Structure 1
Amino acid sequence: MPSLMRFLTVVAVIAGLGFGAIYALATLVTPRTREMVVTIPAAKLRPPAPATAQDGADRSAGARAAATDAVETR
């Protein structure tokens, strides 16, 4: 039984030190705020290219109409 109590005491002390370190970091350290700039490639901003005539030949009439409506409303 004494070895179990020694083990639990060591685990409790380690947990207490960990909790104390996290508490100290949360209360004593203030983060520096700064402006952040992220460059987005132009390829990600462009909409996808419209379907070509060959792609439209494989679609049904309703799918082609929906595709042309979607392109026109952008």
Structure 2
Amino acid sequence: MPTLIRFVVFLAFLAALVFGSMVALTVFVEPTPREMTERIPARDLFGNNT
């Protein structure tokens, strides 16, 4: 039983570590917005009518 409790505590610690790193990413990393354009050929817009 102590081994099971130790394993569950270890898993909880890993989950808290992952959760904390995700929170840190959302708080400290600021994305830089930029304009994006992509050319689409006219043949792709109208499809094949043949």
Provide TM-score, normalisation by structure 2. 0.85
Instruction: Report the counterpart of residue 42 of structure 1 in structure 2.
Output: 42
TM, length-normalised to structure 1: 0.60
Question: With CA pairs under 8 Å and 6+ residues apart, which has the higher RCO, 1 or 2?
Answer: 1
How much is the aligned-residue C-alpha RMSD, in angstroms?
1.7
Task: Call closer, same or farther: CA 1:45–1:12 in 2, change over 3 Å.
Answer: same
Spell out structure 1 runs of 4+ moving beyond 6 A: none
Q: Does 1:15 align with 2:20?
A: no
Larger Rg: 1
Q: Could you say if the C-alpha distance between residues 47 and 13 of structure 1 is closer, same or farther in structure 2, counting changes exceeding 3 Å?
A: closer
Identical columns (%): 43
Aligned pair count reads 50
Describe the superposition over 1:14-71 as per-residue Cα deviations: whole angstroms up to 9, x where unpaired.
000000000000111010100001110110234764xxxxxxxxxxxxxxxxxxxxxx
